[in-house]
Structure 1
């Protein structure tokens, strides 16, 4: 795969990369022990981990220490760090963060033509358990089938999940490709469906059909991206809740911290956590969403946070 085609050498943050919320509230919702932020990013610091010369956006630094503080504030025990296109195929920033994670972090990599099998095996030993395919034009040109097959060959035998970043009706467009991918597939951010099209829109029909296969998972993250109402994102929360109820054993959730390539100010991450009370109101489904499902998908140990039935009975 090639790097994004737009060259950006500016050091100032790009439009759409606001600072994180200055004072996220402490969530009122007590998450089950072992809860996982299944989608967040680590950026820089740029003086140590430079951003790729050929990138489509420049974020503010969000180093591993900052992410750790946010997780602790929100009551999250685990996290999955997704390699960003602004760092390209240079995974040093991801490897550094995983090494400091004490076994409670996993990673999702970007694999390109220059990524060797030795590098991929190093990433696997460090805790990477997936690779991401970006189909959004603001990040890169959509990968060809030949490029995807090359990635699949490079990661063969490792059990990595394929993370698919598509938007709106592209979910339906790429449904045959997603069905054809081997192993587990994860669709990011509710497929970024156009919520104004209602329950019969093609993207939502495709999401449900893909979930029916048993091999496709969905991140019910990004309610702030999908909503057309703004905080507290009731329209997108209702959509996420319907999909959690539809396939409770194949959904995961993430903050998407620190929220790049968005419109307006960054959301309050404490609010995003509290919205889980509406997305997964049943305690058993909340545990699936936050603990058991991400443990299955990203190879976290199940016995580190044993299931306590008393929590569900309160």
Structure 2
């Protein structure tokens, strides 16, 4: 049977969802063992894991095998898979990836009004360690406090992190809410601040104050989204580095692969890795950012101990 014309249009990737970079460069920066991509998405294949009918965008497929190949190419051995809003609260694609990851992956869920405690506990057993709240208007209507409290009640006792996806001045607009949230709170992608507002703009002032509370963490990912200068994104890299210097024990980083809802072409993920040399300069900061902090935040198991050195003939 021929697919209806409307469904064909819905199945095509949306504007703002370009394909991933076709040939990311091999990074010059050697990452430490256990390095973690703390923010990536697994999408599809849609023929197996259909996107939600209520989605606001349609991406290119980025199945688990494709994401795993990218991680191997970049030198990343762990990852946190964030449920995409195009999948809604149907977590089958996330559960499939976590099962295949054999302990190498953790997950962040989208908890809907109909997600039961039993489903949440299944997600926890599979490796989910957090839930995400989207405040961006192109993804959904901002959650109300009642909706947030409902999710917090259902995940109580699991020690999950609360991830916030905000943009522009929203981190300042919601500062009181963020301060009131229990447990660890993670703000995604440098809060997607507008660098045109300058270093003393309300968003950056709020973000720095929140980071100083000791309960708020920051993903210094998304330099390509925040930059006003283009690759290699020097303005956003300098901003990310300033946050690593401010709170080296409460920052994590991710590729944001496959880079949905962006302007222009997808960034080179190999370049994004190499920029970590400036974002977290030196082996100690780099290990904190990529290994120690995500392991603590997302409850990864300890790294296997290095075996005894082999005597050379």
- Other structure's SS at 2:11 match: coil
* Alpha-carbon distance in structure 1 between the residues aligned to 2:139 and 2:154: 22
In 2, the alpha carbon distance for the partners of 1:110 and 1:272 equals 26
SS at structure 2 position matched to 1:163:
strand
2:90 matches 1:90: yes
Displacement after TM superposition at 1:302 (Å) = 2.8
CA distance in 2, matches of 1:304, 1:19: 36
Alignment of 1:31-46 (within 5 A): 31-46=31-46
Match of 1:134 in 2: 134
Deviations 1:130-186 (A, max 9, x none): 000000001000000000000000100000000000012111011110110000000
Name the residue aligned to 2:273.
273
1:147 paired to 2:157:
no
Paired position in structure 1 for 2:241? 241
- Kept in 2, the 8 Å contact 1:218–1:251? The answer is yes
Q: How far has the Cα of 1:249 moved from its partner?
A: 0.2
State how far apart, in whole Å, the 2-side matches of 1:305 and 1:12 are: 47
* 3-state SS of 1:240 partner: helix
Distance 2:281 2:243 in 1: 13
Which position in structure 2 is the counterpart of 1:296? 296
Q: Residue 54 of structure 2 corresponds to which residue in structure 1? A: 54
Task: Report the alpha carbon displacement of residue 27 of structure 1 after superposing the two structures with TM.
Answer: 0.2
Q: Distance in 1 between matches of 2:305 and 2:190?
A: 27
Assess if the C-alpha contact under 8 Å between 1:292 and 1:302 holds in 2: no
What is the match of residue 4 of structure 1? none
TM-superposed deviation, 1:9: 6.7
Q: What is the aligned partner in structure 2 of residue 261 from structure 1?
A: 261
Counterpart-to-counterpart distance in 2, 1:195 and 1:29? 27
1:311 is matched with none
Whether 1:70 and 2:70 are equivalent positions in the alignment is yes
Indicate the structure (1 or 2) with the bigger Cα radius of gyration: 2
Residues 171-204 of structure 1, C-alpha deviations (whole Å, 9 max, x = no match): 1011110110000000000000111211111111
CA distance in 1, matches of 2:85, 2:305: 33
- The 3-state SS of whatever aligns with 1:86 is helix
The answer to whether residue 116 in structure 2 is matched with residue 120 in structure 1 is: no
Q: Which residue of 1 aligns with 2:161?
A: 161
Q: What CA distance in whole angstroms lies between the structure 1 residues aligned with 2:213 and 2:206?
A: 11
Change (3 A) 1:117 1:215: same
Moved segments of 4+, more than 6 Å: none
After superposition, the CA RMSD in angstroms is 1.2
| Structure 2 unmatched runs, 5+ | 1-6, 307-313
Distance 1:139 1:26, change over 3 A: same
Question: CA-to-partner distance for each residue in 1:97-121, whole Å, 9 max, x for gaps?
Answer: 0000010100000001110000000
Contact kept, 8 Å, 2:41 with 2:84, in 1: the verdict is yes
Partner of residue 11, structure 2: 11
Corresponding residue for residue 219 of structure 1: 219
Report what 2:3 is aligned to.
Answer: none
* Cα shift readout 1:26-50 (whole Å, capped 9, x = no counterpart): 0000000000000000001001100
Tell me if the contact between 2:34 and 2:303 (Cα under 8 Å) persists in the aligned partners: no
Q: Which runs of 5+ in 1 are unaligned?
A: 1-6, 307-314
Q: CA deviation at 1:8?
A: 10
- CA–CA distance in 2 between the matches of 1:16 and 1:200? 30
Residue aligning to 2:4 = none
